[in-house]
Amino acid sequence: MASDRPSEKVERADPSALQDRRSQTSVLGSTRSTSRFLSLDAFRGATIAGMLLVNNPGSWSDIYPPLAHAPWHGWTPTDMIFPFFLWIVGVAMTLSFARRVEQGADRGQLFRHVIIRATIIFGLGIFLAAFPFGLLPEHHLSLSKLRIPGVLQRIALCYLAAGAIFLRTGWRGQVAWTAGLLAGYWALLRFVPVPGYGAGVLEPTGNLAWWIDSHLLAGHTWSGAPVPGFDPEGILSTLPAIATTLLGALAGQMMRRWSGGALTMRLLGGGAALLVLGALLSLALPINKNLWTSSYAVFMAGWAMAVLAVFHWLIDVRGWRRWATPLVIYGMNALALFVLAGLIGKLLYLIKWTGPDGKGLTLKTFIYQGAFAPLASPVNASLLYAVAFVLLFLVIAGVMWRKQWFVKI
């Protein structure tokens, strides 16, 4: 974590009081929830733990299909993780901003805070893309090839746009914006002709999102994308991702109005309705994470509502909290853990030396081959490595929890 970042602080709080205080929700950092919504921290923690699990296998050649993204159309459990995080950002934004507005906070000042936070998060994404800045022999920093889009960059843009909409509209306006973004994106993909390909192409090459990214972000897109020039966190597909965040904000409106079993049933009902709607929309525009199609945005928001409903019933309604403690610990520092995992993950690949056979050996390969590969079949050894990575960060998160360090932006 860069020490010169503006507007970031490590906040000390009494963990024993977390379940008894009024909601003081940091939209992108820690959430000091009431007992009513401790489930939101647990859900956020489960999401970040899932992100660490799927991003850090022992070997990318040996992973179970559910732990990989769908190659193009369709979805896997891994494709649920990123939209869940954006949806949670929307929920937390509602719980935070609505309370502050009711207490007389100035909307203009709140939006200035949104701009500052979004700028910091976007900057963190660029920081991760550039790290370690050419300081290791295996890393060459080229500004002409530096990836500009990314996970944190998308979170920043979605938070900025959704925050502006939330602060300037009521729930009806948010519904209208959500529908408009989803319908507008569908229309753009279906009816705007791509030079040399025509309109309505939904393959990796030839779709409108690819054409825009390959022209406006030429040289700055993800090297691991399905085709050169495309980026799964690109420009055009950010529009439906904003809608994902707004769907979370609308769920947050429900959470402010209802509680207990009534809220559980409404979340379940809303989730079921969105799942059905997303499945129906997929008949016109397939579910696709890379394109973040409108059907994908709606379908995954439905899953998010259903999962949070279960968490809410178990943790907030029934009071079964002990099992969720590790998830809450993760959720209290989700953004900090994501950034730290990104830094460590890159170092594991970039720290390299010549092995006994004369071939290059990375630190990750050394650890994986020495400690995990002998234990099980390749696919299970790869999974064990990923689980160990998640547990390592649970220890780190636990230390931060015990020392009452909650990184807040």
pLDDT digit string (tens) for 276-310? 999 999 999 999 999 999 999 999 999 999 999 99
Tell me how far apart the alpha carbons of residues 350 and 137 are, in angstroms, rounded to a whole number: 8
Hey, what amino acid is at 349? Y
Which residue bears the tokens 């994308």? 225
DSSP for 78-117, written as a single string: GGGHHHHHHHHHHHHHHHHHHHHHHTT--HHHHHHHHHHH
Cβ atoms of 114 and 164 within 8 Å: the answer is yes
Structure letter (DSSP) for residue 60: T
Is the pTM higher than 0.85? Answer: yes
What does the pLDDT look like over 78-128, one tens digit per residue? 999 999 999 999 999 999 998 898 888 899 999 999 999 999 999 999 999
Structure tokens at 33: 């929830």
Number of H helices, E strands in the chain: 13, 6
Residue 65 pLDDT class (50, 70, 90 cuts): very high
What integer pLDDT is reported at residue 137 of this predicted model?
84
Tell me how far apart the alpha carbons of residues 232 and 221 are, in angstroms, rounded to a whole number: 9
C-alpha separations of 242 from 28, 40, 165, 182 in Å: 15, 20, 10, 9
Which residue bears the tokens 């019933």? 313
Tell me how far apart the alpha carbons of residues 227 and 205 are, in angstroms, rounded to a whole number: 7
Kindly state the average pLDDT of the residues 152-165: 98
The SS3 assignment for 74 reads strand
Structure tokens at 68: 């990989």
Tell me how far apart the alpha carbons of residues 78 and 83 are, in angstroms, rounded to a whole number: 10
Tell me how far apart the alpha carbons of residues 364 and 350 are, in angstroms, rounded to a whole number: 9
What does the pLDDT look like over 206-262, one tens digit per residue? 999 999 999 999 999 999 999 999 999 999 999 999 999 999 999 999 999 998 999
Q: Which residues contact 102 (CB under 8 A, 6 or more apart)?
A: none
